[in-house]
Amino acid sequence: MLGSTGSVGTQTLDVACRLGIKVDALAASTNTAVLEEQIRCFRPALCAVADEEAAKRLKTAVSDTPVKIIAGPDSASEAAAGTCADTVVNAIIGMKGLRPTLAAINAHKNVALANKETLVAAGDLVLDAARRRQTEIIPVDSEHCAIMQCLGGNRAERLILTASGGPFFGMNREQLAVIKPKDALRHPTWSMGAKITIDSATLMNKGLEVIEAAKLFDMPASKIDVVIHRESIIHSMVEYIDKAIIAQLSVPDMRMCISYALSQPQRLPTGVESLNLIKTGKLTFFEPDTDTFILLPLAYYALERGGTVPAVMNAANEAAVGLFLEEKIGFCDIFDVVDSVTRSAVRVDSPGIDDIEKADAAAREAVYAALNIRPNRI
């Protein structure tokens, strides 16, 4: 379990406990208090901690257990490759999840992927590695999990991703200009980590999911639509050649997606509340406001350009969201700087991992330069 102390990670471990799944390895960054609890609960053989000082504290705290603690920025990759598990769940946030994904694939592990940035920045590279190693990439995101269930191994004509619209649905640019992080972190339906919650508020999260869907299901951008669905009951839909549309519905609870990713094609009890359609009352749909929320059409642009452009967009967004959360820039600055850096990117075709990481680093520097801000260096 990579990213075990985050929102998806803790829910994954809840599912593992319910289903009686053995957890062989954990990986996180700095949260040693939660890691210690997880180690004592699941008794993994291995625990990777990115921060070396945190790893020292954890090693002392769990010295009475047989767990092996490894440390450093590459420790998640080491854990992904070195575990005895047949499936690696990757819930690391951002581009930090790319190398652990590849490490798991190269070790012939199936990957239950909640780290969408992996496929956005390096989808072709990752999927080619998975084909060569004959491993599965299983989506954990609710939208892609829903599509996988609706497809059932069939080929669709169109994919329809749903979006809650975030906390600022219906607002214009002037209203968004005064938004603070505390406002943007109030998602109307889902409980998620800070970065993905901000992405949902800007609709960048849905843009990233469009690219992820294109890669996972081999669909062109022209056949992937996004609709605003405020109730978050329909998680995605597929349209077939006969124009029949099949949807997957449930209450918004990530444990269902996680459970299906770990047990598919079998379905197991999840503890998730049943959907009461009478209580729900109605399901509504709206067209996204792409004039205000410009990062959604930007994602389509990046997907069409291909090469390293999606990696540039993703990196620029990660940098801008980080600055917004630190209250160094405004909410609308995220739109402007990510759009500018992405559209001015020099594309490298058929990139390798070094090309992708260079493009990522250059995009972050371009964001800081455009905003005349120097990032905090560790």
| Residue-range domain boundaries for the chain | 7-140, 143-290, 306-378
Q: Domain 7-140 falls in which CATH fold?
A: Rossmann fold (3.40.50)
Provide CB contacts within 8 A for 127, sequence distance 6+. 119, 137, 215, 216
Q: What's the confidence (pLDDT) of residue 17?
A: 95
Q: What's the confidence (pLDDT) of residue 191?
A: 62
Task: Find the largest Cα–Cα distance for the chain.
Answer: 62
Provide CB contacts within 8 A for 308, sequence distance 6+. 345, 347, 348, 351, 355, 356, 359
Could you state, in chain order, the average pLDDT of each consecutive group of 10 residues for the chain (378 residues)? Answer: 96 95 97 97 98 97 97 97 96 95 98 95 97 97 96 94 95 97 82 86 97 97 97 97 97 95 93 95 97 98 98 98 96 98 97 97 97 76
pTM: 0.95
Question: Chain-centre distance of CA 256, in angstroms?
Answer: 16
- Please state, in angstroms and rounded to a whole number, the distance separating the CA atoms of residues 173 and 160: 26
Q: What's the confidence (pLDDT) of residue 187?
A: 73
Strand partners, 249: 234
Q: What's the confidence (pLDDT) of residue 186?
A: 84
288 CB neighbour count, 10 Å cutoff? 19
Q: What's the confidence (pLDDT) of residue 378?
A: 41
Q: What's the confidence (pLDDT) of residue 153?
A: 87
C-alpha angle 238/243/245, rounded to 5°?
A: 35
| DSSP string computed for 302-357 | HHHH-TTHHHHHHHHHHHHHHHHHTTSS-HHHHHHHHHHHHHTPPP-SS--HHHHH
Q: Where are the alpha helices (DSSP H) in the chain?
A: 7-19, 32-42, 52-61, 75-82, 98-106, 116-133, 142-151, 173-176, 181-184, 194-202, 204-217, 254-263, 277-280, 295-305, 309-325, 331-343, 353-371
**CATH architecture for the domain at 306-378:** Orthogonal Bundle (1.10)
